């Protein structure tokens, strides 16, 4: 089953995707329309449903029957839904994903919400004013992106950010590790894990930062330039760099914490 449909971006203010097992790919459109393509070994077009209601585009994968599920897995490869959307589109975008992979590349939107079960999430070049990402066991990797305000909460998964402007960010994990590499300037960054390690490296050393970094394992390493410490123990580093107008808070119950 292959299908292609297109919608006028001027008529869409919200996209909602409810996808249980198929892979999702989102790319920039070459025109001012929203294009939706889906390919898979499903038995009929009813397995993927698309409908525009008022200004909302609904995309839903329906594989609830045992027959459809068996057919998909028998071919060894999940179906795939590909969206091409115009750059800098002012929409609210909600994805409810199950076990399929989600790949987003070089798109800019206003608000983004992703609820994920076990699928792997990869974002590159994504720009969003607001981003809320929740994942159960699916890892999350974000590179070369920009979020003004973001919340990333996972139960048991790895979170990786690289070369990304995060503005204000709240990252919370259970047993997963958090790796933030070559991060750019931020106004407020809060990272918390239960048992996962945390590593944070700055592209440019902060010069105006208030920080509170701690771990229950008494294994905290901080390498700031021109830092003033109010607390400096193996398990807790508190203090300021410069005037301390921006905020960094990192806490781990039992993981190793490295900040540089």
Q: Could you report the per-residue pLDDT of 217-254, keeping only the tens digit for each?
A: 999 999 999 999 999 999 999 999 999 999 999 999 99
Task: Give the model confidence (pLDDT) of 35-57 as tens digits.
Answer: 999 887 544 444 789 999 999 99
> How sure is the predictor about 69, in pLDDT bands with cuts at 50, 70 and 90?
very low
165 secondary structure, DSSP code: B
Q: What is the C-alpha separation between 33 and 140, in angstroms, rounded? A: 28
Q: What is the C-alpha separation between 65 and 101, in angstroms, rounded? A: 21
What would the two tokens of residue 26 be? 């989102």
Q: How far is CA 25 from the centre of its chain?
A: 14
Looking at the chain, list the stretches that DSSP marks H as alpha helix, in order from N- to C-terminal side. Answer: 66-74
> How sure is the predictor about 64, in pLDDT bands with cuts at 50, 70 and 90?
low
Q: What is the C-alpha separation between 126 and 108, in angstroms, rounded? A: 6
Q: What is the C-alpha separation between 30 and 17, in angstroms, rounded? A: 22
Q: What is the C-alpha separation between 1 and 48, in angstroms, rounded? A: 10
| Least confident interval from 71-75, 79-83, 206-210 | 71-75
Which residue, among 91, 20, 33, has the nearest Cα to 60 in the 3D structure? 20
Judged against a pLDDT cut of 90, whether residue 34 lies above it is answered with yes
Q: How many CB atoms lie within 10 A of CB 60?
A: 15
Q: What is the C-alpha separation between 187 and 10, in angstroms, rounded? A: 34
Do residues 115 and 152 make contact, with C-beta atoms less than 8 angstroms apart? no
Task: Give the model confidence (pLDDT) of 154-177 as tens digits.
Answer: 999 999 999 999 999 999 999 999
pLDDT of residue 184: 81
Task: Give the model confidence (pLDDT) of 106-147 as tens digits.
Answer: 999 999 999 999 999 999 999 999 999 999 999 999 999 999
Do residues 198 and 216 make contact, with C-beta atoms less than 8 angstroms apart? no
DSSP, collapsed to helix, strand or coil, labels residue 46 as helix
Residue with tokens 């079960």: 117
pLDDT of residue 45: 45
């Amino acid at each position: 089953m292959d299908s292609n449909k297109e919608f006028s971006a001027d008529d869409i203010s919200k996209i909602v995707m409810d996808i249980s097992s198929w892979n999702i790919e989102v790319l920039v459109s070459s025109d001012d329309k929203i294009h939706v393509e889906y390919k898979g070994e499903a038995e009929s077009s009813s397995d993927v449903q698309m409908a525009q209601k008022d200004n909302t585009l609904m995309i839903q994968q329906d594989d609830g029957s045992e027959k459809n599920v068996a057919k998909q897995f028998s071919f060894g490869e999940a179906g795939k839904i590909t969206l091409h959307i115009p750059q800098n589109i002012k929409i609210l975008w909600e994805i409810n994903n199950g076990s399929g992979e989600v790949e987003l590349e070089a798109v800019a939107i206003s608000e983004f919400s992703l609820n994920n079960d076990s699928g792997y999430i990869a974002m590159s070049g994504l720009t969003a004013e607001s981003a809320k990402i929740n994942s159960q066991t699916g890892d999350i990797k974000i590179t070369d992106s920009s979020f003004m305000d973001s919340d990333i909460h996972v139960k048991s998964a790895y979170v990786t950010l690289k070369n990304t402007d995060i503005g204000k960010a709240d990252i919370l994990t259970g047993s997963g590790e958090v790796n933030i590499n070559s991060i750019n300037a931020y106004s407020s960054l809060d990272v918390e894990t239960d048992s996962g390690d945390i590593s944070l490296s700055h592209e440019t050393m902060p010069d105006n930062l208030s920080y509170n970094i701690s771990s229950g394992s008494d294994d905290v390493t901080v390498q700031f330039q021109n830092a003033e410490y109010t607390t400096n123990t193996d398990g807790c580093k508190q203090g300021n760099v410069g005037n301390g107008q921006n905020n960094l808070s990192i806490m781990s119950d039992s993981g190793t914490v490295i900040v540089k």
